[in-house]
A and B are shown apart, each in its own frame.
Chain A
Amino acid sequence: MIAALYIARRELHGYLASMTGWLILALVLLADGLLFNGLALAGEKKSFDVLQLFFYFSSGTTMVASVFIAMRLFAEERQQGTMVLLESAPVPEHIVVLGKFLGAWSFLLLLLLLSGYLPALVVVNGKVTVGHVLAGYLGLALLGAACIGIGAFASSLAKNQILAAVLAGAIIVALLLSWTLARKIEGPVGDVVGFLDLFDQHYRTFSRGTVKLGSVAYYAALTYGALLSTTAVLAARRWRA
């Protein structure tokens, strides 16, 4: 288990030592700032609505950032020939996957932390509770974890980082649009498809400052499933490549 922490630390170091890592941080924070100024603060709004809007568009930047953060997890290691170090170490595949995930998620949490000055402005100058901010950030962290899990899975399958990003993006868009499919399907199957909806069904409540255990469980299960699939892909590689 401690190997997962070593791998996570190495992963985090990799983001902070690379131009890509800093570029992702800069662009996402810039986008958050511009959207906050251009959308959330535009016109007369209650501070509750400002904060809700912030968490609304932050979900988009978080999903995009997660895809770009996760695309390198395995695809870059294979491209650079460093995957062998992990494959030849006495570390089980699920620990490698967990370590990689924790490293990428830590970087995303750092990014979210750095965006904290925007809701802090609302807390200081408006009338919102800290609980609303914490619930919103919990939603972003869970949404980001699920997207990084999906990104890790795509990265384990793809030959290069661009393909990994495209594949992860496609899966996330499919989950975002599952509500449209759910509306066409009647009965319990439609309910299940509707429950898979990544955003509308589960995230909106967080952005309003409410934490639903069912949604927490949904994001946790989605993340776990994605990481389990990633582990299976890595194990299967020993049979063929």
Chain B
Amino acid sequence: MIEAEGVRKLYGGKVALDDVSFRIERGEVVGFLGLNGAGKTTMLRILCGLLLPSGGRVLVNGVDAVDDPLALRRSIGFLPDRPPLYGDMTVQDMLRYAGRLHGVAHRELDRRVDEVIALTGLSRVASDLVDTLSHGFRQRAGIATAIVHAPRLVVLDEPISGLDPAQIVEMRAVIRGLKDRHTVLMSSHILGEVSETCDRILVLHGGRIVAQGSEADLVRGGAVRVEVVARGALAALKEPSPLAVAGVTDVETIAVDGGLVRLRARVADDAAREGLVRALVVAGFGVRSVVPLESGLEALFLQLTAGEASAAASAPGVAA
């Protein structure tokens, strides 16, 4: 479906993308995750034929982005971070215009416009001017514009940026709803959103893919910070510490009221977590709770984007 091979992009002397390679199969919802400036938008714009790569190649359904950009654009719908909508047009007229530009046949156009209006929940505002729409509806209208020509691949650049929590939930449903008919590639710097919406994640950092795979693949074996609350005396944890357990690092302990101790540590994997609890029990502590302070994906993302790729490189699915 989509194949990127060694894609490079230089802006003057600055490297925006460096040897980016990945593959996306039909029907997947894939998330591009990265900090601002990681190269997500540049990569998406190359995929959509808006930018030409400095090196490497991109194939979408076997069509090369450089050799045949028009054929490429026919099979892609793109929503940039700012929806490309004319404020002086109604939502319906906007969709008709986008459909015509993408070569939707005249007899098909009205049916397609009605379909995408229903799919994106725009029925209530279909006759309203774009200028009068709320931010959430503008994002939906942007998505409708991107899919009105029934493209195989839909590319969404930060589709939930600036939405309120209720709108995020609605937008998530809209994006998941696209999966039945389209392959979806979306970018975001919001971990939770990518985690909730996407089947697979590509983590981009400093213009390179530093990890890719499903969330479960990525976080398996990844170190996570946990908080343990246990009954016992803090003095029992002084040197020699009973917590010298393989895979347990960065241990902090605090005494709290009621004879309880709060302990924070980074555990490398499930075995280390079990070892930590076992060590506490052997030392005479009554373990009340073990709570992760960050999700596995969050922890992995922080490691990768802090330049600690080597620490995560051992995780399955992490690019070398």
- Chain A min CB distance to B51 (Å): 6
Tell me the bound Cα distance from A18 to B89 in angstroms. Answer: 11
A125 on the B face (CB < 8 A): no
Binds A, one of B69-77, B197-205, B251-259, B304-312: B69-77
User: Per-position contact with A for B112-133: 1 when CB-CB < 8 Å, else 0?
Assistant: 0000000000000000000000
Tell me the bound Cα distance from A156 to B83 in angstroms. Answer: 21
- Once A10-B86, A81-B84, A238-B50 are accepted as A-B contacts, the answer to whether A91 and B78 lie under 8 Å apart by CB is no
Tell me the bound Cα distance from A87 to B86 in angstroms. Answer: 15
Residue from A84, A88, A89 whose CB has the most chain B CB atoms within 10 Å: A88
The residue on B at minimum CB distance from A10 is B97
Which listed residue (A81, A88, A90) contacts B50, Cβ 8 A? A88
Q: A84: which B residues are within 8 A, CB to CB? A: 50, 78, 80, 84
Tell me the bound Cα distance from A94 to B73 in angstroms. Answer: 16
Q: Is the pair A13, B100 in contact by a Cβ cutoff of 8 Å?
A: no
Q: List A residues 4-46 near B (Cβ within 8 Å).
A: 6-7, 10, 13-14, 17-18
Q: Is the pair A13, B88 in contact by a Cβ cutoff of 8 Å?
A: yes
A170 on the B face (CB < 8 A): no
Q: Is the pair B84, A83 in contact by a Cβ cutoff of 8 Å?
A: yes
Tell me the bound Cα distance from A7 to B103 in angstroms. Answer: 13
A240 on the B face (CB < 8 A): yes
Q: A81: which B residues are within 8 A, CB to CB? A: 80, 82-84
B49 on the A face (CB < 8 A): yes
Q: A91: which B residues are within 8 A, CB to CB? A: 70, 101
Tell me the bound Cα distance from A168 to B102 in angstroms. Answer: 31
The residue on A at minimum CB distance from B81 is A81
Q: Is the pair A87, B97 in contact by a Cβ cutoff of 8 Å?
A: no
The residue on B at minimum CB distance from A18 is B88
- Once A6-B100, A238-B50 are accepted as A-B contacts, the answer to whether A82 and B84 lie under 8 Å apart by CB is yes
Q: Is the pair B84, A85 in contact by a Cβ cutoff of 8 Å?
A: yes
B243 on the A face (CB < 8 A): no
- Once A85-B145, A238-B52 are accepted as A-B contacts, the answer to whether A90 and B70 lie under 8 Å apart by CB is yes
- Once A6-B101, A88-B76 are accepted as A-B contacts, the answer to whether A14 and B50 lie under 8 Å apart by CB is no
Q: Is the pair B52, A239 in contact by a Cβ cutoff of 8 Å?
A: yes
- Once A88-B78, A238-B52 are accepted as A-B contacts, the answer to whether A17 and B100 lie under 8 Å apart by CB is no
The residue on A at minimum CB distance from B50 is A87
A114 on the B face (CB < 8 A): no
Tell me the bound Cα distance from A130 to B87 in angstroms. Answer: 42
A120 on the B face (CB < 8 A): no
- Once A85-B145, A89-B73, A90-B74 are accepted as A-B contacts, the answer to whether A3 and B100 lie under 8 Å apart by CB is yes
Q: B70: which A residues are within 8 A, CB to CB? A: 90-92
B48 on the A face (CB < 8 A): yes
Q: B228: which A residues are within 8 A, CB to CB? A: none
Q: Is the pair B88, A90 in contact by a Cβ cutoff of 8 Å?
A: no
Tell me the bound Cα distance from A127 to B70 in angstroms. Answer: 56
- Once A88-B73, A90-B73 are accepted as A-B contacts, the answer to whether A6 and B50 lie under 8 Å apart by CB is no
The residue on A at minimum CB distance from B157 is A84
User: Per-position contact with A for B192-228: 1 when CB-CB < 8 Å, else 0?
Assistant: 0000000000000000000000000000000000000
- Chain B min CB distance to A229 (Å): 20
Q: Is the pair A82, B101 in contact by a Cβ cutoff of 8 Å?
A: no
Tell me the bound Cα distance from A174 to B77 in angstroms. Answer: 43
A86 on the B face (CB < 8 A): yes
Q: A87: which B residues are within 8 A, CB to CB? A: 50
- Once A3-B101, A84-B50, A88-B49 are accepted as A-B contacts, the answer to whether A14 and B88 lie under 8 Å apart by CB is yes
The residue on B at minimum CB distance from A77 is B84
Tell me the bound Cα distance from A197 to B80 in angstroms. Answer: 44
Residue from B80, B98, B101 whose CB has the most chain A CB atoms within 10 Å: B101
Tell me the bound Cα distance from A241 to B42 in angstroms. Answer: 9
Q: Is the pair A90, B103 in contact by a Cβ cutoff of 8 Å?
A: yes
Q: A240: which B residues are within 8 A, CB to CB? A: 11
Which listed residue (B11, B88, B101, B103) contacts A85, Cβ 8 A? B101
- Chain A min CB distance to B291 (Å): 43
Q: B290: which A residues are within 8 A, CB to CB? A: none
- Chain A min CB distance to B130 (Å): 10
- Chain A min CB distance to B77 (Å): 8
Q: List B residues 179-202 near A (Cβ within 8 Å).
A: none
Residue positions of B touching A, CB distance < 8 A: 11, 48-52, 69-71, 73-74, 76-78, 80, 82-89, 97-98, 100-103, 145
30 pairs, A vs B, C-beta closer than 8 Å = A3-B100, A6-B100, A7-B101, A10-B86, A13-B89, A14-B88, A18-B88, A80-B87, A81-B82, A82-B84, A82-B85, A84-B50, A84-B80, A85-B98, A85-B101, A86-B101, A87-B50, A88-B49, A89-B73, A89-B101, A89-B102, A90-B74, A90-B102, A91-B101, A238-B49, A238-B50, A238-B69, A239-B51, A239-B52, A241-B51
Given contact pairs A81-B83, A90-B101, A91-B101, a sample of 8 additional A-B residue pairs in the complex whose CB atoms are under 8 Å apart: A10-B86, A82-B85, A85-B98, A88-B48, A88-B73, A88-B77, A89-B73, A90-B70
